[in-house]
């Protein structure tokens, strides 16, 4: 039959990589390998009927994306948990001074601002180094970045062993600075690693687990230092306890560095999703790191997210850094309970992060979930501020846990929402810019809240943070939800569905009859 012959000829043109495919750059998101198809005889296009959203994406140009082979590897979980362990080790060093700040102030004979800088150096170092590290991530890959980060973490931990003496504050600060450099290499990796290794239905959960690693380190940083370094009067005994803590930290960091060298891999042989396959298909010579940064900075929804993410996480950094001072201010001698309250914040946040990640994988409601969690973070901060001075530690445990559940649970939401808004730009770049904003606001909020607490008390300092969380919640409502990664995956599925119908000779609608001779 003539119709059969026409179908056969056009089917040959449909083979992946065949000459029947032609590039269609018009109205296509940057980086998507979209294609145009006109299979009817005599050049007359066959129209595709409406079916479950396919017409919306294919009606005007019938743009099709070739389906590539995807595979999920079991070792993806090993990569994720090894990275999470490195991140946890680094996060522990961030708070090992701040949660027992009164002890270290007496040991090194320094003021509160100096001890705060042992935490804030992590935030300050991130700002100038993030762009070079993002360049390294794009040009050398995730393995080299994680390897360098774990190396800096190991070196800094060993430097601090030599600082367990009252006159060695400059050495301990230098060791903390080296560890802070490691943070730049690991903090923005979770969303990148999740996209490279994990499937469409588990990517948000994997990102949440990557963030959990950092939160686990913070939790250990709240819990362990008050136990390992008791508040004793004898300086020699105190130095002994501090040195033991530094030895344990260095031993763990060294073990993880060795594991990264021999175990951590760059990426799987086959991509886990169609979106990742499309991102891989972009030729290296067509990618410009500078152009990518500029595109992100012109993306208005992403700019709003950068600001709102910075406000929320900056508040969390300030609360974590100043928690010991706030608890001791109202409950003198409760250093151990201050650490336990910090642990409660982080454990509740870990639960919140995991729940939010699973929820996103099932619903894909990125803006709605982000908005709800942001508002609850504001409400949690208000309740925490109002109950801190009541004189009941058990109340502080409850309100701090509620605050941590939402404020820390927001972290993976921001990462994943950013990936959706900026696809197909690098996940590491979008996460890096988010974290840079968080570090800037973290420094500002920590210094300002510390001064406000010294001058006006903890209530005024916490109200200061509530105001900025309110601003962030309002700005979050203004973010346009443009889920580009989801659209890329849907486009491929729709295109493959069309191809399957065509290969079976089942053209949709009666316009196919025009192909008959």
Q: What angle do CA 211, 212, 216 make, to 5 degrees?
A: 125
240 shares its domain with 196: yes
Query: What is the number of domains present in the chain?
Result: 2
* Residue 354 pLDDT class (50, 70, 90 cuts): confident
Measured between alpha carbons, how far is residue 424 from residues 37, 303, 373, 430, 477 in Å? 23, 16, 26, 10, 24
Cβ atoms of 211 and 192 within 8 Å: the answer is: no
Which of 365, 378, 366, 364 minimizes the C-alpha distance to 474? Answer: 378
pLDDT tens sequence across 282-300 = 666 566 677 878 888 888 9
CATH code of 122's domain: 1.20.1250.20
Do 129 and 243 share a structural domain? yes
Q: Pick the residue with more confidence: 14 or 492?
A: 492
d(CA 388, CA 368): 30
Same domain, 189 and 317: no
> How large is the angle between the packed helices 203-228 and 235-263, nearest 10 degrees?
160
CB count within 10 Å of CB 57 equals: 18
Tokens of 377: 């973070």
pLDDT at 506: 52
- As a whole number of angstroms, the distance between CA 259 and CA 37 comes to 49
Q: What's the DSSP call for residue 397?
A: H
**Is there a single domain that holds both residue 220 and residue 333?**
no
Q: Is the pLDDT of residue 353 over 90?
A: no
97 within a domain of the structure (yes/no): yes
Is the separation of the CB atoms in 403 and 377 below 8 Å? yes
Q: Is residue 307 part of a domain?
A: yes
Q: Verify that 420 and 324 share a domain, yes or no.
A: yes
- The pLDDT value recorded for residue 508 is 47
Task: Indicate if 244 and 327 belong to the same structural domain.
Answer: no
Residues 198, 314, single domain; the answer is: no
Q: What is residue 35's three-state secondary structure? A: strand
- Has residue 312 been placed in a domain? yes
| Same domain flag for 318 and 253 | no
Q: Which domain holds residue 298?
A: 290-482
Mean pLDDT of 21-25: 38
Average pLDDT over residues 183-198: 88
Report the C-alpha gap between 110 and 103 in whole angstroms.
10
Residue 54: inside a domain, yes or no? no
Q: Does residue 255 carry a pLDDT above 90?
A: yes
| CA pair distance 88, 215, nearest whole angstrom | 7
pLDDT at 422 over 60: yes
48: pLDDT strictly greater than 50: no
Q: Are 190 and 219 in a shared domain?
A: yes
Global pTM reads 0.68
Cα dihedral sign, 198-199-202-208: positive
């Amino acid at each position: 039959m003539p119709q059969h012959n026409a179908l056969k000829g056009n089917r040959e043109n449909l083979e992946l990589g065949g000459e029947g495919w032609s590039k269609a750059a018009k109205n296509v998101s940057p980086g998507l390998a979209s294609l145009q198809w006109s299979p009817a005889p005599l050049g007359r296009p066959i129209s595709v009927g409406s079916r479950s959203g396919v017409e919306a994406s294919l009606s005007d140009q019938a743009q099709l994306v070739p389906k590539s082979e995807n595979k999920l590897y079991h070792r993806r979980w090993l990569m994720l948990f090894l990275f999470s362990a490195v991140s946890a080790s680094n996060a522990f060093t961030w708070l090992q001074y701040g949660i027992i700040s009164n002890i270290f102030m007496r040991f090194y004979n320094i003021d509160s601002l100096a001890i705060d800088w042992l935490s804030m150096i992590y935030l300050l170092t991130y700002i100038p180094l993030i762009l070079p590290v993002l360049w390294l991530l794009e040009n050398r890959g995730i393995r080299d970045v994680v390897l360098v980060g774990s190396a800096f973490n190991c070196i800094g931990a060993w430097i601090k062993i030599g600082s367990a003496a009252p006159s060695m504050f400059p050495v301990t600060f230098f060791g903390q600075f080296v560890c802070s450099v490691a943070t730049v290499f690991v903090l923005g990796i979770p969303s990148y690693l999740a996209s490279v290794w994990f499937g469409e239905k588990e990517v948000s959960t994997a990102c949440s687990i990557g963030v959990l690693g950092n939160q686990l380190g913070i939790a250990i940083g709240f819990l362990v230092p008050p136990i390992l370094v008791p508040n004793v009067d004898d300086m020699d005994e105190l130095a002994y306890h501090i040195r033991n803590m530094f030895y344990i930290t260095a031993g763990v960091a060294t073990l993880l560095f060795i594991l990264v060298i021999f175990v951590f891999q760059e990426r799987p042989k086959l991509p886990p999703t169609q979106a990742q396959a499309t991102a891989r298909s972009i030729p290296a010579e067509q990618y410009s790191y500078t152009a990518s940064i500029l595109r992100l900075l012109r993306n208005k929804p992403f700019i709003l997210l950068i600001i709102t993410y910075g406000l929320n996480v900056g508040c969390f950094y300030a609360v974590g850094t100043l928690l010991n001072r706030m608890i001791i201010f109202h409950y003198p001698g409760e250093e151990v309970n201050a650490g336990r309250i910090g642990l409660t914040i982080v454990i509740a946040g870990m639960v919140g992060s995991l729940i939010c990640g699973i929820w996103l994988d099932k619903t894909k409601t990125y803006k709605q979930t982000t908005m709800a969690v942001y508002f609850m973070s504001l409400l949690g901060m208000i309740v925490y501020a109002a109950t801190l001075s009541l004189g009941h530690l058990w109340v502080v445990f409850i309100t701090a846990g509620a605050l941590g559940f939402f404020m820390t649970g927001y972290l993976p939401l921001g990462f994943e929402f950013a990936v959706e808004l900026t696809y197909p730009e690098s996940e590491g770049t979008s996460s890096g810019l988010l974290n840079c904003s968080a570090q800037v606001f973290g420094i500002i909020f920590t210094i300002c809240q510390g001064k406000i607490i010294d001058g006006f008390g903890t209530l005024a300092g916490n109200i200061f943070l509530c105001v900025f969380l309110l601003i962030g919640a309002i700005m979050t409502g203004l973010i346009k939800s443009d889920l580009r990664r989801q659209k890329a995956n849907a486009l491929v599925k729709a295109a493959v569905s069309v191809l399957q119908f065509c290969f079976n000779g089942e053209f949709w609608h009666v316009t196919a009859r025009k192909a008959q001779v």
